[in-house]
């Protein structure tokens, strides 16, 4: 059944159904240090939460503070984070960002962004290599408790399958949804869509047979996947690990 409804109304319906499905999932904004969140999110690009969290912990354990990371030989930083992949560019970008931050503000802190508006913060942080819109959105949500909507690969895929967005990249999905997700619901929707995308609406072989959003979904292969997974009785794997809950 194709359900036509206003996108905002559909988002609220998706939220209600996912809250019911994932009862108890933490969807509160964080108060973590913005520089910690920025670095954790830079590490999390193109890898799993488990490995990027390990890389973040390695940095915290092997170096006294971000000053030591900035001044360390590049190979030491690279080795500390190699568990999360793309260690060469990530180490280079993190050290370069720290050096530029120190040069511009005299210290390694992002406290100056706390008084800025969201647009100014996007402009301020995306000037660093390796820092894109999604990374800045995570800083806004997980350290400044701003009401923004980070779009990663899971949020992008699920939003498009549900026809909440129609785009080929997470950046465009972000642009299409950032003013449509009702205020006060952005973090909750982000967190729930990630959990849903990992557990049920997976990139490969989505578990459409177990999907609480089946009637809202416009993915053209949903009937096929509902059929094959029903036959083989696939069970979703639990995955409780979200890096930014731990920073």
- Site residues (CB under 6 A) for ligand SF4? 161-162, 200-201, 206-208, 211, 213-214, 217, 219, 222, 225
Q: Which is nearer to ligand SF4, 32 or 176 (CB)?
A: 176
Q: Which is nearer to ligand SF4, 116 or 234 (CB)?
A: 234
CB of 222 to ligand SF4, least distance (A): 4
Q: Which is nearer to ligand SF4, 25 or 83 (CB)?
A: 25
Name the CA radius of gyration of the chain, rounded. Answer: 19
CB of 211 to ligand SF4, least distance (A): 3
Residue at token pair 């731990």: 246
Neighbouring residues of 174: CB distance < 8 A, sequence distance ≥ 6: 133, 134, 137, 149, 150, 151
Neighbouring residues of 30: CB distance < 8 A, sequence distance ≥ 6: 37, 141, 142, 143, 145, 244, 245, 247
Q: Which is nearer to ligand SF4, 75 or 205 (CB)?
A: 205
CB of 196 to ligand SF4, least distance (A): 8
> Please, what is the Cα angle at 238 between 156 and 242, to 5 degrees?
55
Q: Which is nearer to ligand SF4, 211 or 243 (CB)?
A: 211
Quick one: DSSP state of residue 165?
-
Dist. CA 242–CA 247, nearest whole Å: 10
CB of 50 to ligand SF4, least distance (A): 23
Q: What distance, in Å, lies between the first and last C-alpha atoms of the chain?
A: 42
CB of 225 to ligand SF4, least distance (A): 6
Listed in sequence order, the DSSP H helices in 107-242 are: 118-125, 133-142, 153-161, 170-177, 186-199, 222-232
Of 1, 13, 2, 29, the residue nearest 181 (C-alpha): 13
Q: Which is nearer to ligand SF4, 142 or 219 (CB)?
A: 219
CB of 221 to ligand SF4, least distance (A): 7
């Amino acid at each position: 059944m194709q359900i036509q409804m206003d996108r905002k109304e559909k988002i609220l319906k998706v939220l209600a159904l996912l809250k019911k499905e994932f009862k108890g999932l933490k969807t509160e904004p964080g108060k973590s240090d913005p520089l910690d969140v920025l670095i954790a999110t830079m590490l999390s690009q193109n890898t799993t939460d488990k490995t990027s969290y390990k890389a973040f912990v390695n940095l915290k354990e092997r170096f006294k503070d971000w000053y030591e990371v900035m001044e360390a030989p590049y190979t030491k930083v690279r080795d500390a984070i190699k568990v999360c992949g793309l260690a060469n560019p990530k180490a280079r970008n993190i050290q370069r960002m720290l050096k530029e931050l120190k040069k511009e503000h005299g210290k390694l802190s992002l406290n100056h962004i706390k008084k800025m508006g969201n647009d100014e913060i996007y402009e301020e942080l995306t000037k660093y290599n390796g820092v894109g819109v999604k990374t800045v959105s995570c800083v806004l949500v997980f350290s400044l408790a701003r009401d923004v909507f980070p779009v990663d690969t899971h949020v992008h895929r699920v939003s498009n399958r549900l026809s909440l967005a129609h785009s080929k990249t997470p950046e465009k999905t972000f642009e299409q949804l950032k003013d449509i997700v009702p205020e006060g619901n952005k973090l909750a929707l982000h967190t729930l869509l990630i959990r849903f995308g990992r557990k049920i609406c997976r990139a490969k072989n989505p578990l459409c047979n177990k999907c609480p959003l089946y009637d809202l979904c416009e993915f053209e292969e949903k009937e096929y996947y509902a059929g094959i997974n029903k036959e083989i009785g696939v069970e979703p794997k639990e995955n409780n690990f979200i890096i930014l809950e731990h920073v």
